[in-house]
Amino acid sequence: DGGITQSPKYLFRKEGQNVTLSCEQNLNHDAMYWYRQDPGQGLRLIYYSQIVNDFQKGDIAEGYSVSREKKESFPLTVTSAQKNPTAFYLCASSHSGSGTGELFFGEGSRLTVL
């Protein structure tokens, strides 16, 4: 079935360690996104990519990095520079250019930094 796969679902790390969250889609979507969700804050956009080898910063990009080497994949690295990395991270994709362009989401990755 087509969809978005995020891994791992739960992740525990020590302070100061970089962490990479995986996001893979087989929907043939051009655009991919990373959001961070904290209680009472809604979803905040970290990075998004409209095409392979290109990506744009969202509203809270500091302390995060991404790459888009393949259409299907958009991994997010939470670096040690991110001051408060404990959160729920959601990856999404959308079809650009026609239709509603609604987001299709993965099941999320919950990162806890100890």
Taking CB under 8 A as the criterion, the residue among 5, 7, 28, 96 binding another protein is 96
- Tell me how far, at minimum, the Cβ of 106 lies from another protein, in Å: 9
Taking CB under 8 A as the criterion, the residue among 78, 87, 92, 111 binding another protein is 92
Q: Decide the pairing of beta strands 109-113 and 76-78.
A: unpaired
Residue 11 lies near another protein (rule: CB under 8 A)? no
How far is Cα of residue 11 from the mean position of the Cα atoms in its chain? 14
- Tell me how far, at minimum, the Cβ of 51 lies from another protein, in Å: 10
- Give the nearer residue to another protein in terms of CB position, either 78 or 91: 91
Size of the site for another protein (CB under 8 A): 28
Residues making contact with another protein (CB under 8 A)? 30-31, 33, 35, 40-45, 48, 50, 56, 58-59, 88, 90, 92, 94, 96, 100-105, 107-108
